[in-house]
Amino acid sequence: MDIDGLGYTPDSPYLIESGKRVGKCLELLMFKDYPFLVWFKNERNKECKDPNRMNKMHKHLIWLLAQGNTRKSSVVCPQCGRNPITHFSVIRGKFGISISANHICCDNQNCKEKLIGMAGGKMPEILPLKFWVLDYFSYRSDQRAIANLFRKLFGLEERLTREKAFEFFKR
């Protein structure tokens, strides 16, 4: 799917060809180091804003980051039992965040209010099931916990290969 009008649709995962992360797959880095990908894209954008002059890696990165925010889960909201989930809740504590695959819901306001009621008097943050959320948290352990939750909610619990990750973002 062509994203952002770049005229770019990848046919395979992209492997970084140079630098500290040489050989790393961009699709797997979405789950392992999302903030790096955002930073890297922003650096490339500073150097080149013209889509006609962007290299394949730059276009692939723009496509991939956009795809991360369009993924949908097939998990049904445990609060209403009808709609697919679109949100999850996080409670921040002294030692990081608390999240659970049970604290998820759909767009329905009543379902979100149920999540707030389940927080035991604490005020949870109810966040969208979108990859940009990974950049919202500064601690690597929090990012990892959310990425693992995403893998579970998107049905990617088994060993994630670069091909499986690519297919997930391509569909």
Secondary structure (H, E, C), 154-169: CCCCCCCCHHHHHHHH
CA 1 to mean position of chain CA atoms: 18
- Tell me the CA distances in angstroms from 115 to 74, 75, 83, 98, 155, one per residue in order: 19, 16, 15, 13, 22
Is the same domain home to 10 and 54? yes
Alpha-carbon gap, residue 39 to 130, rounded angstroms = 17
Asked whether residue 5 falls in the same domain as residue 62, the answer is: yes
Q: Tell whether 136 and 164 lie within a shared domain.
A: no
55 with 100, same domain: the answer is no
Specify whether 96 is located in the same domain as 129.
Answer: yes
Residue 22 tokens, joined: 């040489």
Q: Are residues 137 and 164 in the same domain?
A: no
Give the predicted TM-score (pTM) of the model: 0.88
Q: For position 1, what pLDDT does the model report?
A: 43
The total of structural domains in the chain comes to: 2
SS3 content of the chain, % helix, strand, coil (to 5): 40, 10, 45
Q: What is the pLDDT along the chain (171 residues), one digit of tens a residue?
A: 444 556 788 999 999 998 899 999 999 999 999 999 999 999 998 888 787 888 899 999 999 999 999 999 999 999 999 999 999 999 988 888 888 888 999 999 999 999 999 888 788 999 999 999 999 998 999 999 999 999 999 999 899 999 999 999 998
One domain, residues 91 and 152 = yes
> Does 80 map to a domain?
no
Note down the domain range covering 161. Answer: 1-70+157-171
